[in-house]
């Protein structure tokens, strides 16, 4: 029996998003999203990392470095609506984010919020509690990301 290498699968999926050329995958600036074509919210946990991916074409996925996750959630209306809301917040706040200097995963109890933008990615690394308790300037993005995760979980629970 071959045991899947979950970490390699996770890293491959993550790398595809981080290295994607938005034009090659059919993403173009729009009136609602002139600068941002996607967002990622990565959270460090004791046993690995979770990565939420939300793209302007409705693609919505949650990858877990420990294996598993949810791919294709954006096909569901409630997930698509939450994804659009997340991207609207990221579009509004992206000029305030710092240009991303790398793609490192967050440490345990840390969150990296990434704006995938046509002019280059931007990001912020923050304490999960500060974001969750509204003590961080970018808590709004964190809350919008968690609204997407909630909708993804509801879809999975309904199966």
**Contact by Cβ (8 Å): 60, 54:** yes
Token pair of 126, please?
A: 């923050």
Identify whether 88 is part of a domain. Answer: yes
Identify whether 58 is part of a domain. Answer: yes
Q: Which helix (H) or strand (E) holds 111?
A: strand 110-117
Identify whether 1 is part of a domain. Answer: no
Identify whether 133 is part of a domain. Answer: yes
Residues near 143 by Cβ (< 8 Å), separated by ≥ 6?
A: none
pLDDT at 6: 66
The pLDDT of residue 84 is above 90: yes
pLDDT at 74: 85
How many percent of the chain have pLDDT more than 90? 81
The answer, as to whether pTM is greater than 0.75, is yes
Q: Is 41 helix (H, G, I), strand (E, B) or coil?
A: strand
Confidence of residue 7 (pLDDT cuts 50, 70, 90): confident
Domain count for the chain, please give it: 1
Place of tokens 């302007």: 56
Which of 14-28, 58-72, 83-97, 131-145 shows the lowest per-residue confidence on average (mean pLDDT)?
58-72
Identify whether 16 is part of a domain. Answer: yes
Range of the domain at 148: 6-158
């Amino acid at each position: 029996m071959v045991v899947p290498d979950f970490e390699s699968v996770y890293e491959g999926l993550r790398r595809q998003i981080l290295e994607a050329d938005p034009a090659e995958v059919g993403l173009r600036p729009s009136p609602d999203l002139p600068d941002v074509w996607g967002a990622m919210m990565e959270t460090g946990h004791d046993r690995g990392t979770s990565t939420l991916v939300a793209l302007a074409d409705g693609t919505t996925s949650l990858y877990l470095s420990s294996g598993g996750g949810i791919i294709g959630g954006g096909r569901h209306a409630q997930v698509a609506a939450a994804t659009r809301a997340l991207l609207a917040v990221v579009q509004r706040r992206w000029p305030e984010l710092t240009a991303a200097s790398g793609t490192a995963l967050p440490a345990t109890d840390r969150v990296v919020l990434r704006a995938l933008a046509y002019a280059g990615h931007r990001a912020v690394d923050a304490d999960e509690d500060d974001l969750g308790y509204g003590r961080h300037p970018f808590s709004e993005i964190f809350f919008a990301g968690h609204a997407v995760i909630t909708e993804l979980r509801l879809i999975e629970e309904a199966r």
